[in-house]
Amino acid sequence: MTLETKSTSRERLLEAAATLTYRDGVNIGVDALCKAAGVSKRSMYQLFESKDDLLAASLNERASAFVAGLLPSAADGRCPRERILHVFDQLESQAGAPDFLGCPYLSVQIELKDQSHSASQVAHRIKANLTAFFRTEAEQGGASDPDLLARQLILVFDGASARAGIGADTMTGLVAPTVVTLLDTAGVR
């Protein structure tokens, strides 16, 4: 679906923000965003107080798709170990796509550096939710230290995402054995 076929100016702006900031970074200009969305700057500022608010709204809008693309369904019946490994299988699969540039939420946090920025806060919340998923699964799987394991898993996730996103490494045969070692060491079933 092209941006022009989106039904509202707001949807087109959210799509443009998601696409352009993922590809080009958060410093994309308002002119480029409006041009890609096919809306005037006036319209953008009527819908969003600032480019920062547009970026935060775009990240928030994409959060459910991001989570759905990574996490197993709540009632999938797999054990915690398999549920954690599922996330890394999904990451490996996504990282193999030619247009993969890393985790969009990690990228925003790195680029902005300002923890109080509205987009950084959205990104932080999404990443905290992923860490909480790892912690819950680690606890249910009998991990000796669920908090530590969750922190280790998010570190592997972010590191793998970043290295794949910059083309420094491929994830095939690298991430899963690393995660299995962490799960074994923590005693996760």
User: What is the pLDDT, as a whole number, of residue 2?
Assistant: 46
* Homologous superfamily of 3-55: Homeodomain-like (1.10.10.60)
Q: Which residues of the chain have pLDDT under 70?
A: 1-6
pLDDT for position 1: 42
CA 140 to chain centre: 24
The fold of the 69-186 domain, in CATH, is: Tetracycline Repressor; domain 2 (1.10.357)
Q: What is the mean pLDDT of the chain?
A: 94
Domains 3-55 and 69-186 share a fold: no
Say what the pLDDT of residue 5 is: 52
Q: Which residues contact 137 (CB under 8 A, 6 or more apart)?
A: 80, 81, 83, 84, 188
Q: Are 57 and 108 contacting, i.e. CB atoms less than 8 angstroms apart?
A: no
Q: Domain residues of the chain, as ranges?
A: 3-55, 69-186
